[in-house]
Structure 1
Amino acid sequence: MEEAFYAEARLYDLMFPGGGASVEFYRAQAAGSGGRVLELGCGTGHKLIPIAADGSSCVGLDLSASMLAEARRKADEHGVVLEWVQGDMTAFDLGRTFDLVVIAANSLLHLLEADDLVSCLASVRRHLAPGGRLVLDVFNPSVRMLAEADGVRRNRESLSFTDPDLGRVRVEVAETYDALAQVTRGTWHLSTDTDPAVVVAPLELRSIFPQELPLLLELGGLRLVSRYGDWSGTPFDGASPLQLCVCEPR
């Protein structure tokens, strides 16, 4: 269902330019890991290309051919060599192990069913080398924000951007929240003054609440070692916007 959302990889990069503290956090994790890094849901390589530029041996896996094509283009542009694999993070077999597996930028939340989450985590477990770790980040669900997802189309000014060809692109989103499924169902509208429908795409994301995350990890053969609430390493609490988790085999 998310294929249309990620089909315009160049526009995605303009809307979500990446960089900053999150990249530096994952670069530091990779530097201390031993060198072999796998990122699931790697997208256009926001985090993996800088990690590879630091000297790590990197593999990026993503379901979207469009996102991987943009990742390859960017890696070539920067003179960085990586391996890119089109595949499903719920069940993959790369025939090797890694010192660090990364699932960044809410990528895990594309897995809407608990069985798929556990299958993904179990696949990660099989791909971890001795002493290897999984590091992931997902948002900490805000009950208030979920309750405000009423289906009304609203402007996301902070995500609007300027494209060299299209000019200023507005971003508007209409979302509803399915509390039983723990899934936010949205429609994203990208438009310009001359084109009201540059992109109209559905996007569904699951919420993973803090108390259930350790249980999902355990079912996948992993355990939570540390959980932070931001990129500076502040201990996680209920008000933290982020669940930044370091995990290892149990």
Structure 2
Amino acid sequence: MTDPANFYTGLVVQAYSALKAQTFDPAPYAAFVRSHGQPGLEVGCGAGQPLLELVSNGLDVDGVDSSPDMIEQARTAARQQGLDVRLHVARMEQMDLGRQYRSIYLAGPTFQLLPDDEVALRALEAFRRHLAPGGTLMVPLWVAGPTPAEQLGAAREAVDDSGAVLRYTPVSEVYDPATRTRRTAVTYERVPTTGPRERVDREWVIHWQTLRTITELASQAGLTVRNVEPPSAAGDADLGAEFTVFLTHA
């Protein structure tokens, strides 16, 4: 199940919030939307972080994600917080939301869940169609390295509200710098205090972009790089490098 819409289902969604290593500071995304204009769109909004924080602060931001289970979590959280937010289920390369946006952003390197450059190009074309004239697209990126050998087979655990142990274990990996692809076999488990344990196996695919490749894809999609942060990322394809490209209509 390499497609993100199929990856983030069932037990994986249940475990995601408890097990994820990264939390999102809403401030940079709020600043981006305020600077570049509303309405905004968060692509890959998942269970609603940081989207709902922006909406609760009065910003007009929609959310879209390819996983129906994730969107249902976001809807539940929005209801609990008394928020009115537009949430859509759609793959980023196929989305047709009937609205244009001054600000489009991905919170974290979600773009790299797309399995190859062909799908990445279609996603950029979809972003261009949804980007209002003069609008800006924010794409955080990361040059993935191989998972350290000592982490393969090592479980990460959390406990849910019922006392069940949630467990994530990377099992094995194929790392191919020629195709800029990392395929990691992972296992999710839920071990309740009583009753049978649950387990699902997934293949987690990361297809990374360098500044050169994202610039070329953007040009094919009718977009151009407005700026890069940090500026020192220009031409940097070092493993582990993190940078953000800001795109606009060519």
Q: TM-score range by the shorter chain?
A: 0.7 to 0.9
Corresponding position of 1:213: 214
Letter of the aligned partner of 2:226 in structure 1?
Answer: V
Question: Partner of 2:137 in structure 1?
Answer: 134
Encode CA deviations 1:40-98: one digit per residue, 9 max, x unaligned: 22111112111111222222111111000001011111222111111121122222210
Gaps of 5+ in 2: none
Q: Which of 156, 159, 164 is the equivalent residue of 1:162?
A: 159
- Provide, for residues 79-137 of structure 1, a one-character-per-residue CA deviation record: whole Å limited to 9, x for no partner: 22111111121122222210111123222112222221111111111111122100011
What is the one-letter code of the residue matched to 1:79? G
What corresponds to 2:189 in structure 1?
191
**Aligned partner letter, 2:66:** L
Which of 80, 95, 116 is the equivalent residue of 2:98? 95
Number of aligned residue pairs = 239
Indicate the residue corresponding to 2:56 in structure 1.
53
The CA RMSD over aligned residues, in Å, is 2.6
1:36 aligns with: 39
Alignment partners' CA distance in 1, 2:129 and 2:38: 18
Which AA in structure 2 matches 1:10? Answer: Q
Report if the CA contact (8 A) 2:24-2:49 is conserved.
no
Which amino acid is the alignment partner of residue 97 of structure 1?
Answer: Q
User: Structure 2 counterpart of 1:5, which letter?
Assistant: F
What percentage of residue pairs aligned between the two structures are identical? 21
Shift of 1:193: 6.2
Whole-angstrom CA distance in 2 between matches of 1:34 and 1:210? 25
Whichever residue aligns with residue 242 of structure 1, its letter is E
Counterpart-to-counterpart distance in 1, 2:185 and 2:5? 13
Is the 1:149–1:176 contact (alpha carbons within 8 Å) kept by the matching residues of 2?
no
Structure 1: runs of 5 or more not aligned: none
Q: Normalising by the residue count of structure 1, what TM-score does the alignment of the two structures yield?
A: 0.84
The answer to whether the 8 Å contact 2:24/2:107 transfers is no
TM score, norm. by length of structure 2? 0.84
Which amino acid is the alignment partner of residue 153 of structure 1?
L
